[in-house]
Amino acid sequence: MIKVYENIDFSRVGHFQSILESRGIKTEIRNEGGSGVAGEVPFTQVYPELWVFSNADEKPAREIIARYRRENPAEPPGPAWTCANCGESVDGEFAECWNCSQPAPEAG
Ligand SMILES: [Zn+2]
C-alpha cells in the first residue's frame, strides 16, 4: 500500500479515488472519519488519505493526480458584483449583498 494523495477536503480525496478507480487502479481511503468524534479528537490533525494497493500503481496514480490538478486548478471565486438594490460592491464569493441581502444577479 502506498499513499499517493492527502487533502483536508474529503470530497477532493474521494474525487481522485473515483478517477483512479475509473482507470483501473485499486485504491483505498484512510482516515475517512478524520474530523473525529467529540471527545476523540486527535492531537494532530489527520487528513483523509488516498492509497493505492499496488506499488506498480504509484507512479501512474501520481501522474493522473498531478495532471488533473494542473488542468483543474481550484476554482477561483467569481468576479465582484455590484448590488442592484443599494449599489454596494460585493466580493464574488458571496451569494447575496452584505449590506441589504439582495441576492447576486444570475451569472451570465
Ligand atoms: Zn445591497
Query: Mean of the pLDDT values across residues 18-28?
Result: 96
Instruction: Give the global pTM.
Output: 0.58
Give yes or no for residue 88 having a pLDDT over 80.
yes
Q: How far is the CA of 73 from the centre of ligand 1 (A)?
A: 31
How do residues 34-82 score in pLDDT, each as one tens digit? 454 555 555 566 789 999 999 999 999 999 999 888 887 665 667 888 9
- Clarify whether residues 24 and 60 are in a common domain: yes
Q: How many of the other CB atoms lie within 10 Å of CB of 83? A: 19
Cell of residue 37, nine digits: 468524534
What is the number of structural domains in the chain?
Answer: 2
- Clarify whether residues 61 and 29 are in a common domain: yes
**Res 76: pLDDT:** 62
Q: Which domain holds residue 38?
A: 2-71
- Clarify whether residues 65 and 23 are in a common domain: yes
- CB contact at 8 A, 90 and 68: no
* Residues within 5 A (CB) of ion ligand 1: 83, 85-86, 88, 97, 99-100, 102
What CATH number does residue 35 fall under? 3.30.70
**Res 68: pLDDT:** 87
Q: How far is the CA of 99 from the centre of ligand 1 (A)?
A: 5
Q: How far is the CA of 108 from the centre of ligand 1 (A)?
A: 19
- CB contact at 8 A, 52 and 25: yes
- Clarify whether residues 54 and 104 are in a common domain: no
Q: How far is the CA of 96 from the centre of ligand 1 (A)?
A: 8
